[in-house]
C-alpha cells in the first residue's frame, strides 16, 4: 500500500471583514469533513480559527481592501491553522479583567492550542499567526 506523508493543505483568501469569519469556519468544516478522522479537530479548530480570523479583522492596521488568507494543513497528526494578514501588529497574551467584553481570543488560543506563534510573512508584508491543534482525546483510539 502506498502511503503519502505529505500534508493535505488548503488555502483561501477572504475579505477583511467580520462577515467573513463564519465563511472561514465553514471552509474549515469542509476541509475537516474530507479528512479521515477530521472530527477529532473540529470543535477546537473552529473556535480557534474564528478567534484568529476575528483578531486579524479587528486589529489589523492594513488597508481595508487587503485580503486575509487562511491555510489549513494536517501534519504528523496535528492540524495547523494559519491566518495571514498585511498588518504589522502582533498578538499579545494578556489577562482581561472580568468586566471586559473583549480581549480573550489570544488567551483561548494559548489555552487550547498545543502550540501557537506569530511569524513575518514571506516578502516582509504583514504576518501570520499559526496554531497547532492535537486531536481531541475523545476520539483517540489505540
Please write the tens of the pLDDT for every residue from 25-55. Answer: 999 999 999 988 899 999 999 999 999 999 9
Structurally, the chain folds into a number of domains equal to 1
User: What pLDDT sits at residue 103?
Assistant: 67
Whether 1 maps to a domain, the answer reads no
Task: Categorise residue 124: left if φ over 0, alpha if ψ from -120 to 50, beta otherwise.
Answer: left
Nearest to 109 by CA among 60, 29, 43, 44: 44
The enclosing domain of 98 has a CATH number of 3.30.565.10
Instruction: Look at residue 115 in the predicted model and tell me its pLDDT.
Output: 96
According to DSSP, residue 117 is labeled E
User: Is the pLDDT confidence value at 2 over 70?
Assistant: no
The position carrying cell 497574551 is: 93
* Domain contains 75: yes
Q: How confident is the model at residue 1 (pLDDT cuts 50, 70, 90)?
A: very low
Question: In terms of residue numbers, what domain contains 82?
Answer: 9-139
Give the Cα separation of 76 and 136 in Å (integer): 14
Amino acid at each position: 500500500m502506498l502511503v503519502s506523508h505529505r500534508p493535505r493543505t488548503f488555502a483561501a483568501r477572504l475579505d477583511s471583514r467580520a462577515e467573513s469569519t463564519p465563511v472561514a469556519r465553514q471552509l474549515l468544516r469542509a476541509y475537516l469533513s474530507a479528512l479521515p478522522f477530521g472530527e477529532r479537530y473540529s470543535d477546537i479548530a473552529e473556535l480557534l480559527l474564528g478567534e484568529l480570523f476575528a483578531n486579524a479583522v479587528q486589529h489589523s492596521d492594513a488597508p481595508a481592501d487587503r485580503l486575509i488568507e487562511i491555510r489549513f494543513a494536517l501534519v504528523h497528526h496535528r492540524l495547523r491553522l494559519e491566518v495571514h494578514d498585511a498588518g504589522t501588529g502582533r498578538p499579545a497574551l494578556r489577562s482581561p479583567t472580568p468586566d471586559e467584553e473583549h480581549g480573550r481570543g489570544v488567551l483561548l488560543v494559548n489555552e487550547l492550542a498545543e502550540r501557537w506563534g506569530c511569524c513575518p510573512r514571506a516578502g516582509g508584508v504583514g504576518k501570520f499567526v499559526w496554531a497547532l491543534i492535537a486531536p481531541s482525546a475523545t476520539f483517540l483510539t489505540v
